[in-house]
Amino acid sequence: MTAVMIGYARTSTTDQKAGLEAQLRDLQAAGCTKIFREQLSSVANERPELERALEFVREGDVLVVTKLDRLARSVADLVAITETLKAKGVELRILALNLDTSTPTGKLMLNLLGSIAEFERELMLERQREGIAKAKAEGKYKGRAPTARTQASSVLALKSEGKTPSEIQSALGISRASYFRIMKDSVS
């Protein structure tokens, strides 16, 4: 029985259309017969298409991605994904690295690369925090303006008209959490 190749492609935003197209092209060239794709940040808590791909794969299949960062956001995430694949008898192939977890060397390289990727991300976040701290100290960084709280008076006015929380959230384009934060602040 030959392995079924299942692809997974992800870009961080819908603006990265060329990046997604390149991944799809590479996955098709690698022989993937089914490809799951999504356009959202890897820091999003949920990646529904990745979850669907992990549910879809069966013993003997190979999950194929173009790059490691398209699949996992941290070593812990990578370990969880590879454990899920291992439990199902599914191998992982990363095209850009010519890495295949069906070999001992492939497994070792995957763990090393995941650790290096997480280390690089931590360094980048540390530099970002340092840059923000410096800009704040120089008075050049104010942070993001709170958007929902600027609508507190509108929220309270709609509430006094008898509108439901859902109607208010929809009318003003605010989240459920923002609505309840405004309501809590108005009581304080």
| pLDDT the model gives residue 24 | 95
Is 12 assigned a catalytic role?
A: yes
Note the helical H segments in 30-164. Answer: 48-56, 75-88, 104-137, 152-160
pLDDT in tens, 1-56: 678 999 999 987 766 778 899 999 999 999 999 999 998 865 666 899 999 999 99
pLDDT in tens, 99-152: 898 888 988 888 887 788 778 878 888 999 998 889 888 988 877 766 777 888
- What global pTM score does this model have? 0.61
The single residue of 12, 42, 74, 154 carrying the catalytic annotation is: 12
Residue 160 has pLDDT above 80, yes or no: yes
Type and span of the H or E element at 11: strand 5-11
CATH superfamily of 5-118: Resolvase, N-terminal catalytic domain (3.40.50.1390)
Domain at 149-187: CATH architecture: Orthogonal Bundle (1.10)
- CA-to-CA dists, residue 152 to 23, 66, 123, 129, 143, angstroms: 44, 46, 38, 30, 20
Q: Are 50 and 8 in contact (CB under 8 A)?
A: yes
Residue spans in the chain of domains classed CATH 1.10.10: 149-187
Residue spans in the chain of domains classed CATH 3.40.50.1390: 5-118
Ordered strands of the 91-94 beta sheet: 34-39, 5-11, 62-65, 91-94, 99-100
